[in-house]
Amino acid sequence: MTQKRILVTGGAGYIGAHTAVELVQAGYEPVIVDDLSKSDPTLLNGIEKITGQKPNFQKGDCTHYEFLSSVFKTQGPFSGVMHFAAYKSVGESVQKPLEYFRNNIDSLIAVLEVMKEFGVRDFIFSSSCTVYGQPDQIPVNESAPFKRAESPYGATKQMCERILEDAHTTGFRIISLRYFNPIGAHPSANLGELPIGIPNNLGPYITQTAAGKREKLTVFGDDYATPDGSCIRDFIHVVDLALAHVKALEYLEKQSGTNTYQVFNLGTGIGISVLELITAFEKVTGVKLPYGIGPRRAGDIEKVYADPTKVNTILHWKTKFTIEEALLHAWAWEKKLPAKG
């Protein structure tokens, strides 16, 4: 039987690479495109170690229509597209708003246009809980109205969702997955988060500090209106997140006809504060983390966690891993990395 080929943009990145693995395990053939501007090709080796297959990797920029079109021509036909390629740092987006708007919006439009040209209709989009802004009610469900995004990054995700909502009626079948905060690594320790340069996200900052690569972790603010004053997030194991993408794709494949658009929260439903995550890491690993309290980071939301009822019910997906497992897996991955760099 011929395997269904799925284009995975941003597949050399943290979530994209974990999803490429799950696609292979589910019998699909991922074709990865990535410009490697924010990701390390090491993750491509990790995919190979886990699946035993060298990933089909095409280097290029997803904002370039011609590049994408040549990938569709030479590597297709694709039965679907998962679009992970985007800039993703809340803090950085406040410093570089134009880069974020150009990259995240342009790439979405280019990918959709090329899909249209080649008659590909199934599309999974990496959205984010940042689309909610600071929601009035938490846990937040998918019908909560969008508040003003706290960061340009969040605004790009709101705009992308609006584009998808409008464009889906032209023959697409689309699911937007609103990620909460992915952490952890593949249980094999062959794949994990590997940011280039200083990490923006909490997970890799914790493990790199524990490994001695960073002097100390700064907790951005302890004066929020939360029980311990630090921000609250819904940390979800990256493999659980990856598996949801396969479920979403299978759901789209079962739809009769076109013009489908669905959004789903991908979270555990449990809110954990930054300080609680630090304590949990110290407890499961036995490693003491040097940390201090710093000022709030511009663009941060105070607290958010998911109501995952919709995704549990419609996609029959639930998280399998605990936060402790996520932290242990992330630590096992970090320990396998070279001591420096």
d(Cα 6, Cα 23) in Å, to the nearest integer? 8
**Which CB atom, from 29 or from 161, has the smaller least distance to ligand UFG?**
161
Smallest separation, CB 274 to ligand UFG (Å): 5
Residue 9: strand, helix, or coil: strand
Of 14, 28, 100, 153, catalytic: 153
Query: Any idea what DSSP says for residue 135?
Result: -
DSSP symbols for 38-107: SS-THHHHHHHHHHSS--EEEE--TT-HHHHHHHHHHH---SEEEE--S---HHHHHH-HHHHHHHHHHH
Tally of CA atoms within 13 A in the half-sphere of 31 that contains its CB = 21
Smallest separation, CB 47 to ligand UFG (Å): 21
**Which CB atom, from 56 or from 200, has the smaller least distance to ligand UFG?**
200
Binding site for ligand UFG (CB under 6 A): 88-90, 128-130, 179-181, 200-202, 205, 217-220, 231, 233, 274, 297, 300
**Which CB atom, from 50 or from 274, has the smaller least distance to ligand UFG?**
274
**Which CB atom, from 26 or from 94, has the smaller least distance to ligand UFG?**
94
339, exposed or middle or buried, with CB in 10 Å at 0-12, 13-18, 19+?
Answer: exposed
List of residues 6+ apart from 80 with CB closer than 8 A:
4, 6, 7, 120, 122, 123, 124, 249, 252, 253
Residue 255: strand, helix, or coil: coil
Smallest separation, CB 226 to ligand UFG (Å): 10
* 88: number of Cβ within 10 Å: 25
Cβ contact 88:179 at 8 Å: no
Of 133, 134, 112, 109, nearest to 122 by C-alpha is 112
**Which CB atom, from 79 or from 130, has the smaller least distance to ligand UFG?**
130
Smallest separation, CB 155 to ligand UFG (Å): 12
Smallest separation, CB 117 to ligand UFG (Å): 29
Cβ contact 157:295 at 8 Å: no
Question: From residue 246, how far is each of 159, 241, 242 by CA, in Å?
Answer: 24, 9, 7
**Which CB atom, from 30 or from 204, has the smaller least distance to ligand UFG?**
204
153 is catalytic: yes
Smallest separation, CB 11 to ligand UFG (Å): 16
Catalytically active residues, by annotation: 153
